[in-house]
Amino acid sequence: MTRHAGTFPITKAEAIIALVAEIYGAPPTPLHHPAFTGNEGSYLLETLESNLVSSIGPYVSEFEEQIACYTGAARAVATTSGTSALHMALLLAGVRAGEEVISQALTFVATCNAISYLGARPVFVDVDADTLGMSPVALRNWLDANTVIREGRCVNRRTGARIAACVPMHSFGLPCRIMEIAEICSDFGIVLIEDAAEALGSYAGDRHTGTIGKIGILSFNGNKIITTGGGGMILTDDEALADRAKHLTTTAKVPHPWQTYHDAVGYNYRMPNLNAALGCAQMERLPEILKIKAEIAGRYRDFCAELDLHFIKPLCGMTTNNWLNAVRFEDREARDEFLEATNSCGVMTRPVWRLMHELSPFANCEHDGLANSVWLSARVVNLPSSVPAAQLYRPAS
């Protein structure tokens, strides 16, 4: 379907380019970039003047407290990246070398990288076409067909490996059917770890994403809804687990005024104070960011309805942060024409990630056929989704 300006037909790409220009101004238009119009500069300067720029400093604890309060998690532990947060979450969940972790092939590679750091293997089950996240039906079907409970452990019949964890992802901030997934994991005795890297500000009912499983993680990479430059967060209601996370991410150093004794293999994963200062300033603006992003998503949604272009919306009862808006085309050819037309005009649009089982490190991983994942990967495109800096308040000087 095309729109018309007078007697001249306008393609879907041309129509979207025009809307993007209304929202963001003339190209080039990135997919997503941060906006620093609040207290970022003053907090960073304060941190520099204090000399507390590394992992010891007040902003680290403050940022953790703000995230815990916002999400409703009992504890939050700040890390250097979302990937390091997920690596630590898997380690704390007891995942070991040779074991298997169920995830989805439609995800960013960091999910599978973190599993691989422990010597474990991903197993991919399909996603739901409407959420882009793990399908509870696909999960239960795969578990029923391929696993057995032996001595209280869920084991893959074919490989003999324990299914140590399940890691669904809330793609682009769209909550998956996480409550159903949690119930299935409970039935099979599998630890649920939520990859909510993209989903700060998203809710499944009244529960913030990342707080439904035993452990959840967030990312604050430069392209996320708020950023610390690079950074992540572990969320959990388990106090002992949170204490262990903080200890291991700080090189497992036993506190002492001058001695340096480490009681375990630790990781240099603690978020620096500089990054946390940036995060505290960004958190002050998160409600406003979410409001503006919802307005932009609404414009896309209404416009796509006129274009007969499918705009991907959250399920009823779910709330998305609208991190990256996504549309779905009728086939690969239409998708590729749109990508070529928009990007050649300086409007960055992007297909979904290459599916994980198509990447050489994970080509031999077990999967269930991934029919929806393959279908979606040929059709889904992300649209520019930044918050225009001009719409954000600036503190009084």
* 125, 309 contact by CB (below 8 A): no
- If you ran DSSP here, which 8-state letter would residue 162 be given? B
The pair of structure tokens assigned to 183 is 């119930």
**What secondary structure letter does DSSP report for 367?**
B
Cα 106 from Cα 168, distance rounded (Å): 10
d(CA 87, CA 120) in angstroms, rounded, equals 11
Token pair for 302:
């209404």
Q: Tell me, what DSSP letter sits at residue 96?
A: -
The hierarchical CATH code for the domain 40-284 is 3.40.640.10
3-state helix, strand, coil split of the chain in percent (to 5) is 40, 20, 40
Sequence ranges of the domains in the chain = 3-34+286-391, 40-284
317: left (phi over 0), alpha (psi -120 to 50) or beta: left
Most distant pair of Cα atoms in the chain: their distance: 79
pTM: 0.96
**Alpha-carbon torsion angle 231, 236, 238, 239, nearest 10:** 40
Instruction: Give the strand pairing for 153-156 and 147-150.
Output: antiparallel
Q: Is 278 exposed, middle or buried (0-12, 13-18, 19+ CB in 10 A)?
A: buried
End-to-end CA distance of the chain: 50
Each residue's pLDDT, cut to its tens digit, for the chain (397 residues) gives 445 444 455 899 999 999 999 999 999 999 999 999 999 999 999 999 999 999 889 999 999 999 999 999 999 999 999 999 999 999 999 999 999 999 999 999 999 999 999 999 999 999 999 999 999 999 999 999 999 999 999 999 999 999 999 999 999 999 999 999 999 999 999 999 999 999 999 999 999 999 999 999 999 999 999 999 999 999 999 999 999 999 999 999 999 999 999 999 999 999 999 999 999 999 999 999 999 999 999 999 999 999 999 999 999 999 999 999 999 999 999 999 999 999 999 999 999 999 999 999 999 999 999 999 999 999 999 999 999 978 876 665 5
Contact 82, 193 (CB under 8 A): no
Query: What is 3-34+286-391's CATH topology?
Result: Aspartate Aminotransferase, domain 1 (3.90.1150)
Question: How many other C-beta atoms are found inside a 10 Å radius of the C-beta of residue 113?
Answer: 16
